[in-house]
Amino acid sequence: MQWLADASAMLWPITFGVVVDAMPEPLILYTVVPRTIVRAICSDGYLRVKTRGPDALHIELKMSLAEAIDDASLYYGRVSKDSHCALQVVFTPPGAAHYATTCAGSMHSYQTVLCKEIFHDDVDRGVWHFQQDLPLLAYDQQGTCLIHSTWLQIM
């Protein structure tokens, strides 16, 4: 049993140090919207889910601003700083955990509210779906920030 005590003595500081120092990173995602609806989104506090079109019933979010702009070009045609704005959505670690474990219901085949899009070829394209209206700012009942958002100008 002495070897177990010696092994524990060697591992304990290493394991403890890793656990204490490990801080989860926020999940930062992007989407692009027409400037014509930015004021309504800001006054409402939500980016609303579309009910028609190729991205109906979810909000598509990308892992990089460049990918979000490229994707928006497919839907809207030309995307410029005069016609569109980018929205950076930051899911704090508690926010990512909350929305990635909350069921979106039967309309979404019981997927979670925040889920990664899975493609048949197993290539990660960095596409996330938010299956509800996306709040620009959200807190839980204890006052912990779940989501905060920032408008970015497209260059």
Res. 134: pLDDT tops 60? yes
**Domain assignment of residue 121, given as a range:** 25-153
Residue 71 lies in a domain: yes
Question: Domain tally for the chain?
Answer: 1
> pLDDT by residue (tens digit) across 70-84?
989 988 888 999 999
Looking at the domain assignment, is residue 4 inside a domain? Answer: no
Q: Domain for residue 93, yes or no?
A: yes
Query: What average pLDDT does this structure show over 147-151?
Result: 97
pLDDT at 3 over 60: no
Question: Do the domain assignments include residue 98?
Answer: yes
* Terminal CA-CA length for the chain: 65
- What's the CATH code of the domain at 135? 3.20.170
| pLDDT tens profile 23-37 | 689 999 999 999 999
What is the distance, to the nearest Å, from the Cα of residue 122 to the centroid of all Cα atoms in its chain? 20
This prediction has a pTM of 0.79
In a domain, 34, yes or no: yes
| DSSP state letters, 90-139 | EE-HHHHHHHTTSB--GGGTT-BSEEEPPPTT-----EEEE-S-EESEEE
More confident residue, 51 or 87: 87
Instruction: Provide the pLDDT for residue 17.
Output: 42
Examine residue 143 and state whether it is found in any structural domain, yes or no. yes
Q: Look at residue 13 in the predicted model and tell me its pLDDT.
A: 44
Q: If you average pLDDT over residues 124-152, what whole number do you get?
A: 92
Confidence band (pLDDT; 50, 70, 90) for 148?
Answer: very high
